[in-house]
Structure 1
Amino acid sequence: MSEHLNYFTGSEREKQQRFCAVRARMFRPLLVLLDRTGITPNFLSFLSLLSMAGFVYFVPTNMLFALGFVLLHIFFDGIDGSLARYQDTASNAGALADICVDQGGLVIAVLTLIFYKMIDAFFGAWYLVMYIVMITFLVLLNRLGSPVRFAIRSKYFFYILLVLDLYTARSIVHPFLVLFACYMTVLNVHLFLRLRKLV
Structure 2
Amino acid sequence: MAKNMCTQNNTVKSKVSVYSSGEELMMDVSQSRRYQIFLPLLKWFVRQGITPNHLTGLSLLCGTGFCFLIGLDQNWAVPAALVLLLLHILLDGIDGPLARFQGTAGNRGSFTDTTADQLVVTFTTIALIHSGLATVIAGSLYLFFYTLVVVFAMVRSSLAIPYSWLVRPRLIVYAWIPIEIVFLPGTLSFLLWICVGVLGWKSITGFIQIRNKL
Which runs of 5 or more structure 2 residues have no equivalent in the other structure? 1-11
1:96 match = 111
Identical columns (%) = 28
Contact 2:179 2:185 in 1 (8 A): no
Runs of 4+ in 1 over 4 A off after TM superposition: none
> Shift of the alpha carbon at 1:87?
1.1
After superposition, the CA RMSD in angstroms is 1.8
2:166 match = 151
Which runs of 5 or more structure 1 residues have no equivalent in the other structure? none
Q: What is the TM-score with the length of structure 2 in the denominator?
A: 0.85
Report the Cα distance in structure 1 between the residues aligned to 2:178 and 2:187, rounded to whole angstroms. Answer: 10
Question: Which piece of structure 1 moves more, 183-192 or 6-15?
Answer: 6-15
Q: Deviations over 1:64-90 (max 9, x none)?
A: 431211111111111112111111112
Q: What is the TM-score with the length of structure 1 in the denominator?
A: 0.90
Contact 1:165 1:173 in 2 (8 A): yes
1:23 match = 34
1:1-199 correspondence runs (5 A): 3-60=14-71, 61=74, 62-199=77-214
Contact 2:18 2:154 in 1 (8 A): yes
> Shift of the alpha carbon at 1:10?
2.4
Contact 2:65 2:84 in 1 (8 A): yes
Count of residues in correspondence between the two structures: 199
Question: Which piece of structure 1 moves more, 171-180 or 113-122?
Answer: 113-122
> Shift of the alpha carbon at 1:175?
1.1
Contact 1:4 1:95 in 2 (8 A): no
Instruction: State the one-letter code of the partner of 2:14.
Output: E
